[in-house]
Chain A
Amino acid sequence: MAHKIEVKNLYKIFGTHPEKALGLLKEGRTKDEILNKTGQGVGVADVSFHVDEGEILVIMGLSGSGKSTLVRCLNRLIEPSYGHILLEGKDVTKLNKEELRILRQTRFGMVFQHFALFPRRTVIKNVEYGLEIQKVDQAERQERAQAALEQVGLKGWENSYPSQLSGGMQQRVGLARALALDPDIMLMDEAFSALDPLIRRDMQDELLKLQEKMHKTIIFISHDLDEALKLGDRIILMKDGYIVQEGTAEEILTNPATRYVEKFVEDVDISKVLTAETIMKNPIEIASYAHDGPKAALWKMNQAGISSIFVQHKGRLEGIVTAEGAAAALKNGEKDLAGIVIRDIHKVSPETPANDLFPILAENSTPVAVVDKEERLLGVIVKGSLLAALSEGALGNGTS
């Protein structure tokens, strides 16, 4: 499938002689060197990526890494110096002024860090702005603006002025203003960064909830890794105008590409991000409920050097058998596992965060089973593997 947006080798160089900077960039000079030598500011350098329909892509990086410049290049609020931006295959950089205006009116909704609400317009008039620009008639305008406001939970605030609203509410207006046009792409430049942490989390949840219904293509800028991990289907990390890593949250956390990424992920509580799926190991041995008796189970445990074994039955996880149980059954001459299988065991889904695994592991001496919806055994987690995963993460962040 074609990508919704595809960015190819995009550069933005601030200054009157971008070609000078381009040459030096290709020689591998740094942004600072280029600024000192030529006076040209490198905003975005050789950036290529894609976004798929309905996806939330988070662009992350420290202040000054080029995030705002990049996102503004997409709707050409900032004119790219070189490169191409394909929106459903059509090159945005080639559009003339009029076509570009239509594109902005119909395809892109933008939400700003400091809300950028029009202070002399009421809330509803703010939300109507985009429709007004398109000369939608008054009645329809109001209706659509009202719907957008209700979507973000601001019914009843229509006739207030932005200055009368709290930060969180103001950004809801900002969101509604973009949504009122029903664009298929949302550009959100640090949309929640100016809000305090609690409100911010609310807004993140709200956005995810809305996204479940709307399925927009969202490009979300953030300098906060926790936010990126929460919102992003994929994450792009930028530094000095370049993309330094691209991937899912886990890929970035467990395998930071550079020292810069490591520094970025240093502060993250790994246990929040790692899930059962990343930590679990393949079961070394499994006993079959139908075919294995206590003797076979014990033999398998001995072979694998483990003290308990999961039992499967017709592809489903039946329970667990311990070495002591099996030994006792063997003594009693039992032929199958029916009497000794422990069915009341802890099962978790692959998405379970590592944080939630700690208490489960603490309570149980046996390993935890990771199962899918059909109760098929996907993997096992023992205390050791969780700690190992965590320390691996910590080691990766701390030392190298």
Chain B
Amino acid sequence: MEHLRIPIGKTIELTIDFITEHFSFATKAFADVTETGISFLVDTMMFFPPWVLIFIFAAIAFFLSRRKSIAAFTVLGLALIWNMGLWAPTVSTIALVLISTLIAMLIGLPLGILSALNSTAYRIIMPILDVMQTMPAFVYLIPAIPFFGLGPVGAIFSTVIFSMPPAIRLTCLGIKQVPVELVEAADSFGSTRSQKLFKLQLPMATPTIMAGINQTIMLALSMVVIAAMIGAKGLGGEVWKAIQRLEPDKGFEAGIAIVIVAIILDRIMQKAGAGQKTA
């Protein structure tokens, strides 16, 4: 039986087609930039012997978190990954996460600032974020394929969209949380809007923004794993392969590697954020 169907899916499909056709220059530019970024990052990391890179990571972990325990965990965790023969996919996953997070921040922080300072922007952006955050992660893979085909660029595209909301939300929150009296004080000295932003609001919001970035990184990591379905490779790719070949041992090893990477990134970011607070 025929019935009248509201063409939501159809409209979205048409929009995607339209963008693919008419904005290919934009998708192409995005693809070029991210591809260059990924290969540069992966090449750089793979240039070092794994043990050198492990100590570099440990040093970074210590520098950001000021905690010996976190540095030690970094060394042991990454050594275990190396030992499991998962070094190359881990490096690739870390590269994907870093690039995605970077792009998500480049877009998310300005949007967060905008929504904090402009109530119209706030009213538009927040509902969109609500929808974005309730949408199942897999759905973001769909537009990636027509735009970028299979491969890491599409994965990054989906990851950026999936992981951006907390960066926007917490940047906005951090700025809005600055006490009114402080903003008044800044105003009473004749600050311009940007002076107020850079000298008061952003510094005060930093711990909250860092928490947002932390969440973005964690979401990016989880999405990068899921994006193996559209050819992201990396640790997610290993899991995906193990599922298809029914190799639970390989699958779990890759899973453990993902957990290790997640813990390292989370601890570093948490401590980096907390360290900012008392500075």
Q: Please report A residues at the B interface, Cβ cutoff 8 Å.
A: 72, 75, 77, 100-106, 108, 110, 112-114, 116-120, 129-130, 132-134, 181, 187
Cβ contact within 8 Å between B279 and A120:
yes
Cβ contact within 8 Å between A77 and B184:
yes
> At the interface, yes or no: B199 with Cβ under 8 Å from chain A?
yes
* CB-CB nearest 3 A-B residue pairs: A105-B190, A104-B190, A110-B188
Q: A112-B181, A133-B195 are in contact. Are A118 and B200 (CB under 8 A)?
A: yes
> At the interface, yes or no: B191 with Cβ under 8 Å from chain A?
yes
| Pick from A72, A104, A116, A134: contact of B182, CB under 8 Å | A116
A-B contacts, CB under 8 A, total = 57
Docked pose: A187 CA to B187 CA in angstroms: 13
> At the interface, yes or no: B185 with Cβ under 8 Å from chain A?
yes
B268 to chain A, nearest CB (A): 22
> At the interface, yes or no: B47 with Cβ under 8 Å from chain A?
no
Taking residues whose C-beta sits less than 8 angstroms from the other chain, chain B's interface range is 10 to 19
The SS class assigned to the B binding surface is helix
Q: A77-B184, A118-B182, A120-B204 are in contact. Are A101 and B190 (CB under 8 A)?
A: yes
Q: A129-B199, A132-B199 are in contact. Are A116 and B184 (CB under 8 A)?
A: yes
Docked pose: A181 CA to B203 CA in angstroms: 23
Docked pose: A130 CA to B195 CA in angstroms: 11
Query: 1/0 per position for B164-186, CB-CB distance to A under 8 A?
Result: 00000000000000010110111
Q: A133 contacts which chain B residues (CB < 8 A)?
A: 189-192, 195, 199
A217 to chain B, nearest CB (A): 16
Residue in B closest to A105 when the chains form the complex, CB atoms: B190
A72, A100, A133, most chain B CB atoms within 10 A: A133
Docked pose: A369 CA to B114 CA in angstroms: 72
Q: A112 contacts which chain B residues (CB < 8 A)?
A: 181, 184-185
Q: A118-B200, A120-B204, A129-B199 are in contact. Are A110 and B190 (CB under 8 A)?
A: no
Q: A120-B204, A133-B195 are in contact. Are A77 and B182 (CB under 8 A)?
A: no
B165 to chain A, nearest CB (A): 27
Docked pose: A110 CA to B199 CA in angstroms: 18
Docked pose: A226 CA to B46 CA in angstroms: 75
Q: B186 contacts which chain A residues (CB < 8 A)?
A: 118, 129
Besides the known contacts A104-B187, A181-B189, 12 further A-B residue pairs in the complex with CB atoms under 8 A apart: A72-B184, A77-B188, A105-B189, A112-B184, A118-B186, A119-B204, A120-B203, A129-B186, A129-B199, A130-B190, A133-B195, A134-B190
Docked pose: A112 CA to B185 CA in angstroms: 8
Q: Please report B residues at the A interface, Cβ cutoff 8 Å.
A: 179, 181-182, 184-192, 195, 199-200, 203-204, 279
| Pick from B181, B189, B192: contact of A129, CB under 8 Å | B189
Cβ contact within 8 Å between A130 and B184:
no
Docked pose: A134 CA to B186 CA in angstroms: 12
Q: A114-B181, A116-B181, A116-B184 are in contact. Are A130 and B203 (CB under 8 A)?
A: no
Docked pose: A199 CA to B186 CA in angstroms: 26
Docked pose: A101 CA to B187 CA in angstroms: 8
Residue in A closest to B184 when the chains form the complex, CB atoms: A77
Docked pose: A105 CA to B182 CA in angstroms: 16
Q: B199 contacts which chain A residues (CB < 8 A)?
A: 129, 132-133
Residue in B closest to A100 when the chains form the complex, CB atoms: B190
B187 to chain A, nearest CB (A): 6
A72, A103, A104, A116, most chain B CB atoms within 10 A: A116
Q: B189 contacts which chain A residues (CB < 8 A)?
A: 104-105, 110, 129-130, 133, 181
Docked pose: A64 CA to B191 CA in angstroms: 28
Docked pose: A100 CA to B185 CA in angstroms: 15
Docked pose: A177 CA to B187 CA in angstroms: 13
Q: B279 contacts which chain A residues (CB < 8 A)?
A: 120
A72, A130, A134, most chain B CB atoms within 10 A: A130
| Pick from B179, B188, B203: contact of A104, CB under 8 Å | B188
B273 to chain A, nearest CB (A): 14
Residue in B closest to A113 when the chains form the complex, CB atoms: B181
Q: A110 contacts which chain B residues (CB < 8 A)?
A: 185, 188-189
Docked pose: A100 CA to B189 CA in angstroms: 10
Residue in B closest to A107 when the chains form the complex, CB atoms: B190
B204 to chain A, nearest CB (A): 6
Residue in B closest to A114 when the chains form the complex, CB atoms: B181
Docked pose: A75 CA to B184 CA in angstroms: 11
Q: B203 contacts which chain A residues (CB < 8 A)?
A: 120
Residue in B closest to A174 when the chains form the complex, CB atoms: B185
Docked pose: A315 CA to B187 CA in angstroms: 59
Docked pose: A118 CA to B189 CA in angstroms: 13
Q: B190 contacts which chain A residues (CB < 8 A)?
A: 100-106, 130, 133-134
Docked pose: A135 CA to B192 CA in angstroms: 12
B131 to chain A, nearest CB (A): 30
A96 to chain B, nearest CB (A): 13
For this complex, 14 residue pairs linking A to B, each with C-beta atoms less than 8 Å apart, are: A100-B190, A104-B189, A105-B189, A106-B190, A110-B189, A116-B181, A118-B185, A120-B279, A129-B189, A129-B199, A132-B199, A133-B189, A133-B199, A181-B189
Docked pose: A129 CA to B196 CA in angstroms: 11
A182 to chain B, nearest CB (A): 13
Cβ contact within 8 Å between B188 and A101:
no
Q: A106 contacts which chain B residues (CB < 8 A)?
A: 190
Q: A100 contacts which chain B residues (CB < 8 A)?
A: 190
Docked pose: A133 CA to B204 CA in angstroms: 17
Cβ contact within 8 Å between A77 and B187:
yes
Q: A72 contacts which chain B residues (CB < 8 A)?
A: 184
Docked pose: A105 CA to B191 CA in angstroms: 8
Q: A114-B181, A132-B199 are in contact. Are A108 and B188 (CB under 8 A)?
A: yes
Q: B200 contacts which chain A residues (CB < 8 A)?
A: 118
Docked pose: A77 CA to B190 CA in angstroms: 10
Docked pose: A104 CA to B189 CA in angstroms: 6
